[in-house]
């Protein structure tokens, strides 16, 4: 089976499972007390956020590896991961406000996590734009790697500075020192969703990687 | 003095160098002839250390300090004077203070730029900037000269002066590589000749007293058959 | 190490001399700074929002935009006659080249900031003199980290299409932590609060600077060597 085919299989399975997770989320998971049905977006929003962070992390890692060994496969992977990451970031940035409006009463707020995710989106966009503006493949790979690494290192600083600034986002309910404070069904649904999104990430990246190219503008 | 071993390089899918091996000793001048796209400039850039080749290696004894480069571009700053340019580049090569003024005056005089010394480069004519570029390259008294079509844009007087300078360099034991697509230019100076095509040397031999006409004929044969 | 700094200083000095000679970027940056301040002045309702609340934001937005304008000039001059090749051929380390450029950029931006601050005091009548030392400190700290990344990016961007647009787009996320920290220090500073309250922000800025100057120094060679 070729790489592209395995990618398509993974994506297919992922989408099917995604459907399954939705059904579970909508029908078999309790409705949250304070937020109501709108809270269900949580099961899409959080995994999308997680996937975009994963994508960025892998872009950074692949960039470092590329600069060390100059294997173009790392560059192709970074490009694929960045594209997929951008898509997930978009999902995250659209589902977020859809969730926020009914629950918080506002579409957007500048707390630590939102600002971080918005900046992550901008870093992805900048990365893509740079790739598109350079025609020479070797140059493009090097430039992209530099930006990818800088972007990755930047994220903790953004998080820290905005966190010190203000916090409004719901406090973590799963990844915190004490036991998760949500009912087990919700946690399970969330974890299932995260798993499925990771699978989708993998499927998308493999397909994109298999398509090849580095993303330069067409008119060479 | 300078060497290359099995150099291979490509720009993406476009091959540029394909197995170049040679070496040059003191006092030798190699003239490389070849059509556009043969890889001549790439070869020079690899030897100079500006490009890291995908395959093989090349080097110059003494490292970057020993290299003087004259190419298509003058590498001068338009808003600095000729003198300021020369001094800046000399300082990067750690040329001793006392030598700077001497060499500066000598080179400017020989290249006919004495009166333009304190003019900004942007006010000079094309030929004058080319000559200033030559001065820049020689300020730090390099052991190895890498020349990429150095006679382009030079008027007859300046071309003669450059030939004289290069002759002095060779006599003083410097090694020189001249890349050109014009057989007449490099001939008298060369001790060795190479013909390059498609990233390879299709011929490499001592000049053995041949003149431009003979070399042009040899070049045509080599390029046609190689 | 001494060589490293000496060569860096030579590059900085050359850059500054070039900039003062041509003055194009400096003039644009100063005019732009004045314009932005005027726009802010007329864009607000003085009866609704007291100057003191808005002042830090105005100051820092102005600084940010002016800095971005300044960054583009850094490598433009090197492309004119491919002087960049000359810098890469010279026996100076890539680090010297980067620090030299960084130094010149910092001097340049500092000049624009000082002028901006004077104009700011003039237009907005904010009592800045009392706190000029901590203000200078936070400005310096916030600027260094941001310009370090900016210098690195400008080396890449100068060879791409839409360079003037690409740089701000890439740099904007990197502006955020220094900007937030700087404003968070400046607000209590103007309001007369003690420095101890903002010590945490100073630490964040210092960490950001150390981190990104180091990272940029390490990554710079990859942007210039083929």
Nearest CA in chain C to B85: C14
- The answer, yes or no, to whether residue B226 has pLDDT greater than 60, is no
Rounded CA separation C162/C74 (Å):
16
Nearest CA in chain A to C226: A139
Q: Do C91 and B84 touch (CB under 8 A)?
A: no
Tokens of A22: 């939705």
A213 touching B, CB under 8 A? Answer: no
Q: Please give the average per-residue pLDDT across B51-76, as a whole number.
A: 91
- In three-state secondary structure terms, B164 is helix
- The answer, yes or no, to whether residue C186 has pLDDT greater than 80, is yes
Cβ-in-10-Å burial (0-12, 13-18, 19+) of A11 comes to buried
Q: Please give the average per-residue pLDDT across C132-145, as a whole number.
A: 91
- In three-state secondary structure terms, B4 is strand
The torsion angles phi and psi of C119, rounded to 5 degrees, stand at -65, -40
Cβ neighbors of C134 (< 8 A, separation 6 or more) are C185, C189, C195
Question: CA dist A197 to A76, A84, A185, Å?
Answer: 21, 11, 18
**pLDDT score for C14:** 95
Q: Is the Cα torsion angle C205, C211, C217, C220 positive or negative in sign? A: negative
Report DSSP state, residue B62.
T
Question: Which is it for strands B2-11 and B55-60: parallel, antiparallel or unpaired?
Answer: antiparallel
Partner residue opposite C161 with nearest CB, options A122, A133, A162: A133
**pLDDT score for C107:** 93
**pLDDT score for A175:** 43
- The answer, yes or no, to whether residue B181 has pLDDT greater than 80, is no
CB C67 within 8 A of CB C112: yes
Q: For the ranges A78-82, A178-182, B159-163, which has the lowest average pLDDT?
A: A178-182
**pLDDT score for A220:** 36
Q: From the CA of B12, how many Å to the nearest CA of chain A?
A: 6
Q: From the CA of B210, how many Å to the nearest CA of chain C?
A: 34
Model confidence over C71-88: pLDDT tens digits?
877 788 888 889 999 999
B217 against A117, higher pLDDT: A117
Q: Please give the average per-residue pLDDT across C4-21, as a whole number.
A: 93
- The answer, yes or no, to whether residue B210 has pLDDT greater than 80, is no
Q: Do B120 and C92 touch (CB under 8 A)?
A: no
- The answer, yes or no, to whether residue C181 has pLDDT greater than 70, is yes
Residues of B in contact with C81 (CB under 8 A): 73-78
C55 against A129, higher pLDDT: A129
- In three-state secondary structure terms, B67 is strand
C50 touching A, CB under 8 A? Answer: no
A137 touching B, CB under 8 A? Answer: yes
Cβ neighbors of A66 (< 8 A, separation 6 or more) are A72, A74, A75, A78, A141, A145
Q: From the CA of A71, how many Å to the nearest CA of chain C?
A: 15
Chains touching chain B at 3 or more Cβ pairs under 8 angstroms? A, C
Q: Is the Cα torsion angle B145, B151, B157, B158 positive or negative in sign? A: negative
Percent of chain A at pLDDT exceeding 70: 87
CB C128 within 8 A of CB C94: no
C184 touching A, CB under 8 A? Answer: yes
Rounded CA separation A130/C129 (Å):
43
Q: Do C14 and B67 touch (CB under 8 A)?
A: no
Residues of A in contact with C173 (CB under 8 A): 119, 122-123, 126, 151, 154, 158
Tokens of C107: 């001097």
Model confidence over A4-63: pLDDT tens digits?
888 888 888 888 888 888 787 777 777 776 667 777 777 888 888 889 999 999 999 999
Rounded CA separation B180/B196 (Å):
10
Model confidence over B21-49: pLDDT tens digits?
999 998 899 999 888 888 899 999 999 99
**pLDDT score for B83:** 95
Cβ neighbors of B14 (< 8 A, separation 6 or more) are none
- The answer, yes or no, to whether residue B134 has pLDDT greater than 70, is yes
Element (H, E) at C11: helix C2-22
Q: Is the Cα torsion angle C18, C22, C23, C28 positive or negative in sign? A: negative
Q: Do C169 and A119 touch (CB under 8 A)?
A: no
Instruction: Give the model's confidence band at C89: pLDDT under 50 very low, under 70 low, under 90 confident, else very high.
Output: very high
**pLDDT score for B78:** 92
Model confidence over B70-117: pLDDT tens digits?
988 899 999 999 999 999 999 999 999 889 999 999 999 988 899 999
Rounded CA separation B101/B95 (Å):
10
CB C181 within 8 A of CB A161: yes
Closest CA to A10 of A206, A195, A211, A190: A206
CB B201 within 8 A of CB B194: yes
C137 touching A, CB under 8 A? Answer: no
What would the DSSP string read from start to end of B174-195?
Answer: -EEEEEES-HHHHHTT-SEEEE
Element (H, E) at B196: strand B192-197
A138 touching B, CB under 8 A? Answer: yes
CB A46 within 8 A of CB A193: yes
CB C168 within 8 A of CB C157: no
- The answer, yes or no, to whether residue B123 has pLDDT greater than 60, is yes
Question: CA dist A212 to A133, B42, B48, B75, C122, Å?
Answer: 17, 28, 33, 38, 57
Q: From the CA of C174, how many Å to the nearest CA of chain A?
A: 7
Chains touching chain A at 3 or more Cβ pairs under 8 angstroms? B, C
- In three-state secondary structure terms, B60 is strand
**pLDDT score for A52:** 92
- Which residue, chain included where needed, has tokens 């890889």? B39
B108 against A183, higher pLDDT: B108
Residues of B in contact with A136 (CB under 8 A): 11-12
Instruction: Give the model's confidence band at B225: pLDDT under 50 very low, under 70 low, under 90 confident, else very high.
Output: low
Tokens of B168: 């002095």
Residues of A in contact with C180 (CB under 8 A): 161-162, 165
Model confidence over A98-145: pLDDT tens digits?
888 877 788 887 777 788 889 999 999 999 999 999 988 889 999 999
- The answer, yes or no, to whether residue A218 has pLDDT greater than 70, is no
Tokens of A93: 């940035």
CB C211 within 8 A of CB A161: no
Cβ neighbors of A207 (< 8 A, separation 6 or more) are A4, A7, A8, A11
Percent of chain B at pLDDT exceeding 90: 44
Partner residue opposite A133 with nearest CB, options C152, C162, C208: C162
Partner residue opposite B73 with nearest CB, options C7, C85, C92: C85
The torsion angles phi and psi of B151, rounded to 5 degrees, stand at -85, -5
Rounded CA separation A195/C222 (Å):
37
- The answer, yes or no, to whether residue A76 has pLDDT greater than 70, is yes
**pLDDT score for A173:** 47
Rounded CA separation C80/C74 (Å):
12
């Amino acid at each position: 089976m070729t790489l592209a085919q395995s990618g398509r299989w993974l994506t297919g399975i992922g989408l099917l499972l995604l459907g399954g997770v939705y059904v579970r989320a909508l029908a078999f998971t309790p409705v949250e007390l304070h937020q109501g049905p709108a809270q269900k977006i949580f099961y899409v929003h959080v995994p999308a956020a997680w996937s975009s962070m994963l994508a960025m992390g892998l872009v950074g890692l692949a960039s470092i590896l590329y600069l060390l060994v100059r294997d173009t496969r790392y560059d192709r992977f970074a490009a694929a991961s960045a594209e997929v990451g951008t898509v997930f970031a978009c999902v995250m940035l659209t589902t977020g406000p859809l969730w926020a409006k009914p629950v918080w009463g506002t579409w957007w707020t500048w707390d630590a996590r939102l600002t971080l995710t918005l900046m992550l989106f901008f870093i992805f966009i900048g990365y893509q734009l740079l790739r598109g503006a350079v025609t020479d493949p070797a140059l493009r790979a090097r430039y992209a790697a530099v930006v990818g690494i800088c972007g990755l290192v930047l994220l903790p600083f953004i998080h820290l500075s905005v966190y010190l600034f203000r916090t409004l986002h719901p406090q973590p309910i799963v990844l915190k020192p004490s036991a998760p404070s949500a009912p087990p069904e919700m946690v399970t649904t969330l974890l299932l969703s995260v798993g499925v999104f990771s699978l989708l990430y993998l499927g998308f990246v493999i397909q994109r990687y298999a398509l090849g190219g580095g993303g330069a503008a067409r008119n060479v | 003095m300078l060497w290359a071993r099995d150099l291979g390089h490509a720009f993406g899918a476009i091959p540029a160098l394909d197995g170049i091996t040679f070496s040059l000793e003191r006092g030798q001048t190699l003239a490389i002839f070849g059509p556009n796209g043969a890889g001549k400039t790439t070869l020079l850039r690899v030897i100079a250390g500006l490009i890291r080749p995908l395959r093989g290696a090349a080097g110059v004894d003494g490292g970057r300090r020993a290299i003087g480069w004259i190419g298509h571009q003058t590498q001068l700053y338009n808003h600095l004077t000729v003198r300021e340019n020369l001094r800046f580049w000399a300082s990067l090569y750690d040329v001793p203070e006392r030598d700077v003024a001497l060499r500066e005056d000598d080179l400017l005089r020989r290249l006919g730029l004495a009166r333009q010394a304190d003019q900004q480069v942007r006010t000079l004519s094309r030929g004058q900037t080319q000559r200033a570029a030559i001065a820049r390259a020689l300020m730090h008294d390099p052991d190895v000269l890498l020349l990429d079509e150095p006679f382009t844009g030079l008027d007859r007087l300046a071309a003669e002066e450059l030939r004289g300078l290069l002759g002095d360099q060779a006599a003083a034991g410097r090694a020189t590589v001249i890349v050109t697509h014009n057989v007449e230019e490099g001939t008298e100076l060369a001790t060795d000749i190479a013909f390059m095509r498609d990233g390879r040397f299709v011929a490499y031999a001592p000049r053995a007293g041949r003149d431009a006409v003979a070399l042009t004929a040899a070049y045509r044969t080599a390029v046609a058959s190689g | 190490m001494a060589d490293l700094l000496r060569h860096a200083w030579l590059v900085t000095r050359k850059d500054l001399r070039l900039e003062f000679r041509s003055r194009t970027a400096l003039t644009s940056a100063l005019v732009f700074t004045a314009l932005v301040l005027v726009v802010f002045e007329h864009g607000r309702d003085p009866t609704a929002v007291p100057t003191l609340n808005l002042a830090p934001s105005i100051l820092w937005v102005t600084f940010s935009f002016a800095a971005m304008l300044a960054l583009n000039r850094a490598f433009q001059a090197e492309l004119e006659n491919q002087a960049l090749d000359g810098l890469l051929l010279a026996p100076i380390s890539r680090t010297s080249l980067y620090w030299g450029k960084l130094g010149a950029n910092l001097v340049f931006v500092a000049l624009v900031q000082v002028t901006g601050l004077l104009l700011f005091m003039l237009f907005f009548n904010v009592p800045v003199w009392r706190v000029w030392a901590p203000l200078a400190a936070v400005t310096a700290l916030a600027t260094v980290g941001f310009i370090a990344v900016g210098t690195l990016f400008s080396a890449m961007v100068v060879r791409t299409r839409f360079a003037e647009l690409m740089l701000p787009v890439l740099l904007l996320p990197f502006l955020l932590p220094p900007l937030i920290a700087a404003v968070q220090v400046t607000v209590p500073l103007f309001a007369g609060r003690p420095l101890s309250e903002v010590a945490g922000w100073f630490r964040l800025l210092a960490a950001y600077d150390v981190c990104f100057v180091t990272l940029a120094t390490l990554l710079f060679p990859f942007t210039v060597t083929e």
